[in-house]
Amino acid sequence: MTLDLSLTRDLLRALLPELVLSAWSLVLLGVVAWRHHTGRDLRIAGWLTLAAFVSTGAAVWWLWWNSAAAIGFTPMIALDDFRFISDWLFLGAGAVTVLLSMRYLEREALLAPEYYVLLVFAVLGMMLMGGASDLMVVFLGLELMSVSVYVLAGFNRKSPKAAEAALKYFLLGAFASAFLLYGIALVYGATGTTNLALIGVQITSLHLEHGPMLLIGLALLLVGFGFKVAAVPFHMWAPDVYDGAPTPVTGFMATAVKAAAFAALFRLLVQAFATTAAWPAIVSALAIATMVGGNLIALAQRSLKRMLAYSSIAHAGYVLVAVAAGNPAGSAAFIFYLVAYTLTTLAAFALLAVKGRGGESDVLIDDLSGLAADRPWLAFALAVCMLSLLGFPGTAGFMGKWYILVAATQNAHWWLAALLVLTSVVSAGYYLPVIMVMYMKPSPSAAAHADARLGRLAGVAVAVAVAAVLFLGFRPNRLLDLSASGAESLRAPTAAAVAPPGN
């Protein structure tokens, strides 16, 4: 199915997933304005949100199944496999977050169904970021996502830590957005356009690869995205924000929000700055600092939630290695690793949520002592998550790291590959103790894990995520093929390819 995006009818088809989710957001706003007092009202909003994500995923599938592609120039929104795969990732993470939140919100007495409206708007912003072919759409999607997540981070108004998390995230997020917007302005000043494909063509045809204005604009864009993905040294907001936010929100931020920023960054670098030689070295330096800093600081954490927060910073460094590789193998590894990391981390935060109250920030690693004896299935699921994050063979995390290593070595980035391996070994120092205390230490009391129970919906979500992590550890081929297809669709266009119809 080929679509001419200069025609309104075809443009609406191309935007069908975003339109479906926008329509659901209006329905949710109406329902929440009418019913917002009881736990039942909260559950109704949750089920409607789940229906919104499923129906939007079906719309994405319809475009993908019909091989939707744009004729020539794509002014604002892309039609390619990379967009479809990233949309599924965002919608899947949103759906899992809904399942994890239903029991959690009632348990924490957060009876405000507006939570789900904010979740829908955040995912809508992510979809705009993943599919944007223009810098202005990237910025609009980023702000829609960010404003929603700012509120979600401080959703527990009774918690001082949540208020601190929201304030820090808002202030530093606004600071990062300013860098991003200034970078967009300088890139526009250098190339005369904000369209990603046209930026790439202008850089090549006008030989702007070493233009000072363009390079400064690119540097500012990288700083802005560095804040959003929590890359060192732009990570200072992440631990406190992740620690103070409600745990399902923390899992959502550590996976979907980070994946959206990476998707937009990857499309920007591949389509707009493919011929600019400056960014691979910058991204490599960010990857080194992020892998080393995230892992070393995580070693000192005794709080399970803060350990997972710093762990997510380290994993951002691994993804940056795939970005820095700059070859087809790196592109495929980038998508594969985001999927594997999202599955594993969402499950890990869901399992953390069963052990605490009031945001789980006070749950220490030692508090899991004896969990395997009292709750063997919970302990098994958390052990699988820790092993996958470590990169243990037989898990999706191992396959993701392996593909990143292959991509890095193919492009002669041996030192990046070696550092990835070394920092992964360091990460054993904080992942394996979690497994050790669960299986090798006795419970402090008979009732220590009496309340450690997943709800039915959260249990289904965790079971599916853990099963997928194990399945992809042994049969990764289908997902890797899909990842390679998405990466292939991001080729930098030529001048002839972006010529408007009729030229």
Average pLDDT of the segment spanning 30-40:
82
The fraction of the chain above a pLDDT of 90, given in percent, is 40
User: Taking 90 as the threshold, does the pLDDT of residue 447 lie above it?
Assistant: no
Is 122 a residue whose pLDDT tops 90? yes
pLDDT 10s digits, 316-346: 999 999 888 877 888 888 889 999 999 999 9
Work out the average pLDDT over 12-35.
Answer: 91
Percentage of the chain modeled with pLDDT above 70? 95
Continuous H helices in 35-134: 39-65, 81-107, 114-131
First vs last Cα of the chain: how many Å apart?
22
Contacts for 449 with CB less than 8 Å, ≥ 6 apart: 355, 370, 371, 374, 375, 443
Does residue 498 surpass a pLDDT of 60?
no
Instruction: Check residue 496 and give its pLDDT.
Output: 47
Given this model, what pLDDT does residue 502 score? 45
Region 65-77 average pLDDT: 81
Least trusted range by pLDDT, from 44-58, 64-78, 193-207, 374-388: 64-78
Mean pLDDT for the stretch of residues 149-172: 87
Tell me, what's the pLDDT at 291? 92
> Which of 28-32, 241-245, 275-279, 489-493 is the least confident region?
489-493
Structure tokens at 64: 């993908």
pLDDT single digits (tens) 231-278 = 888 888 888 888 888 888 999 999 999 999 999 999 999 888 888 878
**CA-to-CA dists, residue 279 to 187, 325, 410, 493, angstroms:** 14, 11, 18, 19
CA angle (371 as vertex; 369, 377 as ends), nearest 5 = 155
Answer yes or no: pTM beyond 0.75: yes
Which segments of 237-374 does DSSP mark as H helices, in order? 238-244, 247-252, 258-267, 279-299, 304-325, 328-353, 371-374
**Cα three-residue angle 369-371-372, rounded to 5 degrees:** 120
- The stretch 463-474 carries a mean pLDDT of 92
Taking residues 367-382, report their average pLDDT.
87
- pLDDT tens, position by position, 295-319: 999 888 888 888 888 899 999 999 9
**Above 90 in pLDDT, residue 422?**
yes
Give me the mean pLDDT over the 274-283 stretch.
85
Region of poorest pLDDT, from 11-15, 35-39, 462-466: 35-39
**pLDDT for residue 368:** 84
* The predicted structure's pLDDT at residue 494: 52
Whether residue 112 contacts residue 247, with contact meaning beta carbons closer than 8 Å, is answered with no
Q: pLDDT band at 388, cuts 50/70/90?
A: very high
User: Could you write out the DSSP letters of every residue in 414-477?
Assistant: HHHHHHHHHHHHHHHHHHHHHHHHHHHS--SSTTTTTT----HHHHHHHHHHHHHHHHHHH--H
Q: How many residues does the chain have?
A: 503
Helix (H) / strand (E) element for 222: namely helix 212-228
Burial (CB < 10 A; 0-12, 13-18, 19+), residue 331, is buried
The reported pLDDT for the residue numbered 230 is 87
pLDDT tens digit string along 389-399?
998 999 999 99
What's the pLDDT band for 503 if we cut at 50, 70, 90?
very low
Angstrom distance (rounded) from CA 155 to CA 145: 15
Task: Give, in degrees to the nearest 5, the angle at Cα 224 between 5 and 416.
Answer: 100
pLDDT of 415 reads 87
> Stretch 199-214: mean pLDDT, rounded?
87
How does pLDDT run across 424-444, given as a tens digit for each residue? 999 999 999 999 988 888 887
Chain mean pLDDT for the chain: 87
Supply the pLDDT for residue 479. 87
Give the pLDDT mean for 75-95. Answer: 90
